[in-house]
Amino acid sequence: MHYFPSFLEVNSTRNRTQTLSVTSGKGGVGKSTLLANLAYSLGQKGQKVLILDGDLGLANVDIIFGKKSKHTIFDVLNCEKKLQDILLEVSPNVYLIPGGSGLYQLSHLAPHQKKSLLEQVSEMDHFFNYLLIDTASGISENVLYLNSAAQDILVVVTPDPASITDSYALIKVLTQKFHENHFGIVVNLVRDEEEAISTYRRLAEVADRFLCVSLDFKGFILNDPKMRQATKKQQMIVHTDPLAQSSRGILNLVNEIHGLPKLKEPKGSLQFFWQQLSGVA
């Protein structure tokens, strides 16, 4: 259903929104499925979560949740809809902003369009605990801007050598072009903890040698056939089988995210994120 959530009327004392991008250097690493399960789990903890589907080429977060969005940010930028009208509730406490091709327009808006968008965003800044941004993979301009606007960046990597190489390339570009120097690393699709640690160390060793960055190991998710089956059925593994091996890894990661330091600078807020994207900040 599309509507402005009623909780926006009552949570005026909520802290500013924490913004977290979930990204990867290579496709096929399970990034979007992981993000969906993270959002669902945070929602189950009573956290209000807003997802931005920022994968312009393959915007599919609504499909992962078994939903279908009727509108996107494109309709907002064309003044056909208000931002609050395109919010799609995908699970309890979790709402989605379908991104689509409209995100391309954000840096080319007329002043009155920027003002209107940011006014709408500011109304929501205190009412969501988290904004999770699902980026495309790689180092396209859109991916870089989405990551650089977020307070925290979570890079999803697998043991595949190409994934490690491409993750390093993404981190390198974000460091050199946007001066980002802190990244969370989650290793997905691993056999066991030993393989996860080994994968993280391979990435960290190269980064330590050539870049001045901090890579924090946030956790790992086992390569679990139960998770693949749940995803095919458009179900969240943390809901259908919370005791599954993959669910335990996701829930551990949720606890890591939920324990992130609260905002010390404007970069984490919802409004700042959109200001960056639209070229105001």
Q: What is the pLDDT of residues 16-65, one digit of tens each?
A: 789 999 999 999 999 999 999 999 999 999 999 999 888 866 778 999 99
Tell me the residue range of the domain where 134 lies. 17-278
Question: Would you say residue 12 lies in a domain?
Answer: no
Question: Would you say residue 10 lies in a domain?
Answer: no
Question: Would you say residue 5 lies in a domain?
Answer: no
Q: Please state whether the predicted TM-score (pTM) of the whole model is above 0.75.
A: yes
Question: Would you say residue 165 lies in a domain?
Answer: yes
Question: Would you say residue 205 lies in a domain?
Answer: yes
- Give me the CATH number covering residue 137: 3.40.50.300
Secondary structure letter of residue 17 according to DSSP: P
Structural domain count of the chain:
1
Within the chain, where are the H helices? Answer: 31-44, 61-64, 73-77, 83-86, 111-122, 141-149, 161-178, 193-210, 225-232, 237-240, 245-258, 270-278
Decide if 86 contacts 75 (C-beta within 8 A): yes
Question: Would you say residue 167 lies in a domain?
Answer: yes
Average pLDDT, the chain: 87
What are the tens digits of pLDDT across the range 159-203?
A: 999 999 999 999 999 999 999 999 999 999 999 999 999 999 999
Q: Computed from CA positions of residues 97, 100, 105, 109, in that sequence, does the dihedral angle turn out positive or negative?
A: negative
pLDDT value, residue 260: 65
Q: Are strands 152-157 and 182-190 parallel, antiparallel or unpaired?
A: parallel
